[in-house]
Structure 1
Amino acid sequence: MKKHYWLFFCFILLHLASCQSDDFSVNFDSENSIEANGSLAELISRATQNPTALDDFIDRSSSTKIEFPYQLSINSGEFIELTSEEDYQLVINELQNLGANYSIQFQFPLEVSLVNYENLEVSTPENLENISSLEENSSEINCIEFVFPLQINSFTLSNEVAESRSFSNKAQFYNYLKQLQNQNGFFEFSYPIEVNVENSIVSISNLTQLETTFANLDASCFSPILFEPSPINIQFEEFILNESFIITSFTDDGEDETQEFENFEFTFLEGGVISIFNLETEMNFTGEWEINADDGDLELNLDFTDSVFGELDDDWLVVEFGNDQFILEDGNDIFIFEKN
């Protein structure tokens, strides 16, 4: 403890000496002290902030966390009630069955919390969007937890105050670190401390051990994403690959010409090959397929050598896919494939 107070006393002397020159700066280097605006302090902040990124696949914002309980609807379907983080899996199960982009609607009013643990009541979708756009985004670390209570000794250059503080939870500690950052402060843990790393308690006796613990975290700890849809073109490829479809509707310039293709089964194979089988005559045909995703549009390019399928030769816009069907469109030409 004497060492700590000696360090802080040195801080004060150095800061007072800075009055002699506008160009004077304090260079701090101590075995166990941490600069509040340094890289290690930033990691500690990320490990103690409110975990607002965990539900990004639901609210599409890392600046807010939707507080339980609340209700949501996927693609205007039935409402699902979420009461804990375990219920996230209910939503993930639904999203995994959707091939296309999804939309989520909330039952308002609801409560959200921010990175700094502040809670706000939200009454409309517009209100939620405004909050998400204005608040600080999250970059949390999700597999290390400090064991509380914690005690630190700190010093701030802005007001020349040295103090010892004890914290009983993450919210208190996170917000105090933010305060130290704003005041160009330094702090030291009162060792030993304990951290929970992936459900295993680790005892830490000094700054070097703390730095090593963060350095050894798995990369996934820095990306707390429970569910992240694959790119739309990959989703669509997985949806059609090695699957057989029949055309249940085909409209050419407003004319219904479904019957011209009602006996054909289309199977999309590896290597961009389409195997076509006439269910009535048992004749086989082939074609080629390719998926492109440019400027936000998803396209399925079809190419057939047989003139029977000449009307299908085109670069088709994929309007929708999922629920065992996909819809293609090119101007006034629209047709629907359904899994057979």
Structure 2
Amino acid sequence: MAATTEGVVPASTGPGGWLTSVSHACLEHASGFVAERCDEQFLGRGEGALAIEALPEFVREGKFLRPLFAYVGWCCARPEDEAALRAATSLELLHCFALAQDDVMDRSALRRGRPALHTQFARWHRDQGWNGSATRFGESAAVLSGDLFLVWSEQMLRESGVPEPALARGWPHYDAMRSELAAGQLADLVNDARSLPSWDAVLDVIRRKSGNYTVRRPLEFGAALAVGDAPVLRALGEYGGLVGEAFQFRDDLLGVFGDPDLTGKPVSQDLRDRKASSVVVLAVAMAEAPQRRELQLLLDEEFLDDDAITCLRGTIAATGAPDQLEKLIDRRVRKALDAIDDTAIPSRMLETLAVLAARCTDRVR
């Protein structure tokens, strides 16, 4: 497949600038595609008045991390290509599907510091003065919006312009990404519902729901489209699994100790939601007996006010779990970078993968 020149960033651009340019191009592809689909389905129809505005805007708010990894996977084996960029961008619509339904499951009122889709639809219902439960309407509309994103993701991939033989190589990785996401979400739901899972159970969910879905499968998907050789695919898979785990460890730390102005979530939302996150489970495992009793008492509370949240955060910090997670993050990133060293991956992509690993695991994301 000959590489196109449209939208290709000059080779002299550093990894950070190149990634920024690629993410902007992904945004244009994704928001444009969704806007066209919304016009096809809803233009002139009253039930789609909000969807025409809300769904493209929901796409525009993303970070496009999965498309970036997918496109880097492609560029580890082939020159830049506009069709491959569109194929990689389709993964953002898959992510929008996951977010829309995840917010309903978690009853999260906010997404990226703005009202979640189900919150927007519920408010619309109330503004119209319609019958029935606005909350139930909003949740149902958000689930259906997620379904549309899922359908549109596959449609965008099929219509990307990538030749059929290349798509045939990519489908197994795309399917694995979708299946592991749903299976991991179910396992996460079970973990949150029982008293407290083991550390091994939490790691299993992290690997399936986040590690593979966020980094490993997108990288493998992009490389498979490009006919990356087996050693490169194996190296990217190992890198992806490790960085994906580190990414979730960081996300869990931010869910407890993050700045809401940076994370877009209320303070310690994961604690209020009783999430069986890695930092909570590790804290219980590392706690001395008095700390463990205090943690259990707080975690068993039906409602956690601000004072209880402050106390719970302090006890978690005192166990040493946050510091231990920081060490686990650093260790995984180092091993990930070692995994892609001394491979056939171009040096520019090695530098780019190092930048992406840092972006996934920094302390302010």
The TM-score range, normalised by the shorter chain, is under 0.3
If you compute each CA radius of gyration, which structure gives the higher value, 1 or 2?
Answer: 1
| Larger helix share, 1 or 2 | 2
**Higher relative contact order structure (alpha carbons within 8 Å, sequence separation ≥ 6):** 2
| Larger strand share, 1 or 2 | 1
Q: TM-score, normalised by structure 1?
A: 0.22
Q: TM-score, normalised by structure 2?
A: 0.21
